Every structure is written in C-alpha cells, then in structure tokens.
Structure 1
C-alpha cells in the first residue's frame, strides 16, 4: 500500500474551496427565488426566465437562470475534501459513517419536520402544497433515511433541496466501499469511476442524477489525486481553467449539452479555487473557512424560510418583485446558515458523535 504520507497534501484547510461553497449556496438562493412567483394554481413547477418580475435580473441573470448547477459544484468539492480527509486516515472506514451521520442528519431531520408542519398549514389554507407536492407518508420515510432521490420517489418532496444530499449518500457509500483500492491508485480509480458514470449519464441511463453525483464526486477526488502527484500544481490549474471554461461555452453553444457544459464549468471553478488554496501558504484566505461553515445551513434553511414567508405575507409575489425583498431573503438565509452552524449543527454533531462513542465502548465491553 502507498505510504500514508503521500496520500495527504500538507495543507490542512482549503479555505478558498470553503468560500466557493458559500458562494454556491447563494447561487442556489437565486435559482429558487422563482418559487415566490409560482402562481397559486400551479402546485409544482419552476418558472425560469422571469426577467420582468425578478429584481435585478439583468446583473444576476446567470444565477437566476442557471444557479441550480451549483449543486454539481458541491458534489465535486465534496469528492476533493473527502479524498483529503479520508485517504490517509487508517481508521477512516470505522469513523466514516458516524461522522457523516453526525454532520448531515440532525439539521436534515429538523428542517424536514419544520417543512412538514409548514406544508400542512399551506395545504389547509390553499388546498395544495407549495412547490414540492409529494408530501405523503412514503416520501416522509424516504426523506428520513435520505433515500428520497434514489429512484423510489415520484418527485422532489418536503424540503426539496435535500434531494442532492440523497444522491450524495450513494457517492459516499461508493467512496467508503472503494477506500482500500483508492488508497492504492487514487487517480486511476477515481478517474475511471468518474468517466464511466458520466458516460452512463450522457447515454441516458436510469437514475442519472445519482450517476451524475458519483461522476462529479469522484471527479473531485481525481483532482485531489493529481495534486498529490504534483500534476495539478497551481500554475497548471490556473492554465487549465480557461480551457475548461472555453469547453463549457463550446459544449453549450454548439451541442446544447447542459451536462457537458456544467461539467467543464464546474471543474474550471474547482481548478481555480484549488490553485489559490495550494498557493496560499500563509492562509490569507482563512476567512473563507468561516463563511463555508454556513453553506450547509443556508442550503437547508432557505426553503423553510420561503414557506414561512409565503404563509406570513399575503400577496408575497408583489413583495418579492422588489429589490429590498431579495436582499432581505438572501440576508435572512445567510444569517440562518451562520446561526444554524453555531447554535444547532455543531452541538448536535458533538452529541451524535458522543452517542456513537458510548455505543462503541459498550460493544467493546460486552466483547
């Protein structure tokens, strides 16, 4: 097996990556801002390109119309970070799932229950649900286990944005299962899996969102493997970024392939962010870590916040057309992310990990 010392970069924190996670979460806020303009007679559906009513649409058109592709960037960053955290850790397989459960489930379960409550109120008032219509018992159980987007669902349900977490759980499982071989040949294994799953996506295979998540996740892990071998140096990453951006433009302009364009653009941004981090030996970008901490909370709280606003404000569509309301919504979502991380996510994470430690100690004592 390759010695652990060559499986981890010397840099401990990737602050610029954390900053870009925060920016990606804000991009999703713009994409979902259209929820405020869905007519009451339409129980589900997105109304994109609403340039006439969305405030500041012209300067933020890219975010309004394409902010959803930030999800793919989240997946790629996760693959990079997981490779950094787990490849060189000899105990990573035993620690992996307790750490994932402690980090993801508490806030997911809290927002799931809050959305279920708010949607019940919206249903009583309006006769249908808000945006995500499949809020029955079966979908609630799927959501409980973050299995709501594995192919068993009718559509997005409850706290709809959590669908991307559901697909990422499958990528986590693949990473955990493949850790032994990833340690032996991280670049080869990650590259082959990313290429294979992306080929299946482009071929129209079933469960393409799960396959797409795996492709981006292991693509990010592959970038980390290239950095380990000094192939992905800051200079080379900076040089590669414009080529990837040009490839994204060509894929969209000439082939109208959203998947190829998104993939190239995602890794162009990832390349630049990793280049900055690798070059930032003095941690000038350390502020990015604190901002990135809020990204998970921003992502999971913004839809419950929307539900609260549509319940609390009559005629919310008119209000949402004002710039002040846009600023208010984004500011509240960001503040919710920071408050959630400090007041709920970190304490809950510590509590869950303590529970796992006690269970482990009891099993050891019983043995």
Structure 2
C-alpha cells in the first residue's frame, strides 16, 4: 500500500543554507525573552549554515506549573529576528487559535507537535484552520509508536490543501530506559518513507537524544538513512535555558556538528560502482530466496509437530525447549559474529509464527469435533 499524498518537493519551500550541506532548522526550545531569541537568531545566522529559525512559543508541558511558553508576544520577537537575519521562521501550533495568530504574525513554517499528532480531533482542528492557506506544515510523529496516527495526521493536513508537507521524526516514548530520551525506532520512519517516497522526513535529534552529547551520532545516522534534514535546538547559553537545557547546543557547537556531518549519495557516482552494487544486490536476492525457502521448510516441520502435539494432547508451549533454542542459537549467532539482539528478535518472530500455526492446528481439531 502506498500513501496517496499530494505534496511538493522540499526544495520548493526550504533549501540548505550551504551547498553540499544538510538542511538545518535550528533555534531555542523556548522563546524566553526578546533578547535571548533575537541574539540566538543572529548567532545562528552568522554561521551561514541555517535554513530556518525555530522557537517554541506555546509549550505543551506534561505537568501544570511548568513553563508553558511565553505566548503570543513571542511571535513579535520571532518576526523581529526574521527581519534582522533574513531567516524564515517556524513554530509549533496546537490549535486553531495558534494557527491564526502565527499566520497573522507572518510565520513562514508551522509544525504539529508530537502531543497533538496523537489526537485526531486536535489535528483536524488544525487542518480546518489551515484550509485555504498556502504554508509549509511539518508533522511530528506521535509520542507513542503508532505509524497509523502519524499517517492519519499527515493525511488530514494534506486533505486541507497543504501540499508543502513534511514529516518530523523525533522518536517515540518507551518504558525501557536507554541512552535516548525517545527511542528512535528508525524502522517506523523507514516504513513511512517506503509508503510515501516523495514525503520529506526531517530528523529531530534533540528530542531523540535528550542530551547534546549524542546529537552528532543521531544526526549522522538520520542523514545516512536519507532523511532530508535536521531540526536541532540551539540556545545562546543552554546551561540557563528555561526548558530542555540538556538537549540544546550553542550556535557555535551546532556549526561544528554540521561541519563534521557526511552527506552521502543516494546512488553510485559511476557506472562501475553501480555495476558492483547491482552484483552484490543479486547475491542478496539469491540469499533472500534461500532464506525464505528454508523458513517455509521449517514451518512445514512445525505443522507436523503441531499435529503430533494435538494427537497426543501435548501443550503448544514447551518453555524448556524454547530456552534451549534461544541458548543454542544465540551462541551460534555470536560465533558467526551476528548481533545477538538481532538473532534473538529473529528467533522470537519465528517462534511466534510457530505458535500461531500450532494453535491453528489445535483449533482445527476442536472445530471438526
């Protein structure tokens, strides 16, 4: 299934500030004071590496009492920064009033935040407010890992007539505590790109990382996965930032991050390289066919096991046997220098399918009886 979105190329509404450099949207997490925002904007513009200036004007916070944004007055500060630096501006909108005020203030780009994307009613309200308006809109992935919600939000905005449309990948909430503030779950962004190859996807390493130290790593990986740009939070002095201090970088540090990024080609540069890649891909295709054939053979044996268990009243799940499989196969994978986590996920997937097939066989007996 392919997504049927009517969208314009990103290059028609936003371009990299430097040739052969990634597209960068940057600015403070929150507009705190006029001086803080305008000074940060000048420092970012001075780098010559910024495509657009972002700032949080309205901040949806998890708990009441936290700083929820400076409000509408921040739009005036943002407009001043735009006039003085020439940078196009971007803000998050969470309801129809935000849209109306941002448009009236001359904001150039809007984005729908993760907390809004999760609610179709909120997205529809924003979409209705945008109907008849020609402005670029970016949609962040929802807080929870739900690709359908992300797609639905993009479709609602697109159906309102917005054709300058992009997605923002900012990671997903997870109960597991890892090095990331929000788990990247790159596979969901890849699935979205597969469903709609022409849809620009911009990565938000600030929210994925939650700390500035690993922003370079995530930024490079995003570009290696052919994402079209980065949204990185930048503050003139992150140590005193009112919100998300740990994930913001100074304009100078941001410039260094950009300088150390590598932009790779989507296709081989020469015919010889292309031929070599085609040859390797043919090997992959052949191996994939063999793997699928072997999995089919495995499932055929699984069916026989299911029939045996059915006929002899044996339970489907054999915990000891499963533990034995995981232990032996993981050790074998390690010996072959395969990633153990990958091997475990593959085994779990096949085990789940084995249980499903055996359950079908058990239920088939019950239906006949």
TM-score w.r.t. length of structure 1: 0.27
TM-score, normalised with respect to structure 2: 0.27
